[in-house]
Structure 1
């Protein structure tokens, strides 16, 4: 059985657990693991994810960058359906040497990623497992969670 199958079994197992208890375990693991991970040595989220931008965030960053809003939009955003706005490049325009050049003004999705500190971990299992190989924090939280819950791992050979 491969790692992908193991993770599918683990996801199914996580759904059966008490949500509040699971959140508490994830919060504790995230706090411990994220303290040991230097995101600037990785930057995979900024290098490989689509970044959504809200109207107030676009307005704020345009002002911070001293750009007219329409110029900011042309240079940095793609507008989709229902008002959805995305940064128009991957990796993100604002990533330089694995650091965010607008860190103090970064978007909510960037501030919240990998969202392991937020309640309702079970409701975001698809997202967390989608980013399992992308983010060392998510990877380590999930692997430590398997150990903590005494989940039976399989050989991946």
Structure 2
């Protein structure tokens, strides 16, 4: 997949995607959660995240206290040392990575802490959520980062419009 071409296409479709997602919020189909699950599974049956890893290269996840506790334990570090080495507090007072790409991203796009990775990483791009219209702002943002999220919205439009 050509990431540059995808980003251009995703940018061009922002208004159309936003309009579609707002429509889902106003009048969701009765079986929306089922359709979302089906489309999510279809998309991820074809997409190999290891070919891209754009999320790990361009956006940092939010680290919850549970994430910090679990990861620092795994790395055999004090939580305070983990935080000072890897994290910073952003403008929303959230704990996020100091630098990108993610420190834990390996050269082959695998994650060195995959089994204990943050909740935000496990759930990204959030295209398998129930009541997906509750996170329209996030879905739109993610279509610019993640080719799978873009493909998800495109397929959702075909299935529900």
Asked whether the two chains share a fold, i.e. TM above 0.5, the reply is yes
What aligned pairs does 1:86-125 form with structure 2 within 5 A after superposition? Answer: 86-97=96-107, 98-125=109-136
1:4 to 14, 27, 49: 14
Mapped contact 1:45–1:135 kept (Cα < 8 A)? yes
SS of corresponding position for 1:78 = strand
User: Which one has a larger percent helix, Structure 1 or Structure 2?
Assistant: 2
Partners of 2:78 and 2:30 in 1: CA distance: 45
Between the aligned partners of 2:92 and 2:13, the Cα distance in structure 1 is 37
RMSD: 2.0
Which residue of the partner structure matches residue 5 of structure 2? none
Whole-Å separation in 1 of the counterparts to 2:36 and 2:147: 14
Alpha-carbon displacement from aligned partner over 1:35-67 (angstroms, at most 9, x marks no partner): 211101110111111211111221221121122
Normalised by the size of structure 1, how large is the TM-score? 0.84
* 1:76 maps to 2:86: yes
Secondary structure in 2 aligned to 1:139? Answer: helix
Matched pairs, number: 149
Q: CA deviation at 1:32?
A: 1.3
Higher mean alpha-carbon deviation, 105-114 vs 84-93, is at 84-93
**Structure 2 unaligned residues grouped into runs of 5+:** 1-11
- 1:51 is aligned to 2:46: no
CA distance in 2, matches of 1:81, 1:145: 33
Q: Partner residue of 2:71?
A: 61
Distance in 2 (alpha carbons) for counterparts of 1:24 and 1:53: 30
Paired position in structure 2 for 1:35: 45
The unaligned stretches of length 5 or more in structure 1 are 151-157
Greater gyration radius: 1
Q: Which moved more, 1:5-14 or 1:22-31?
A: 5-14
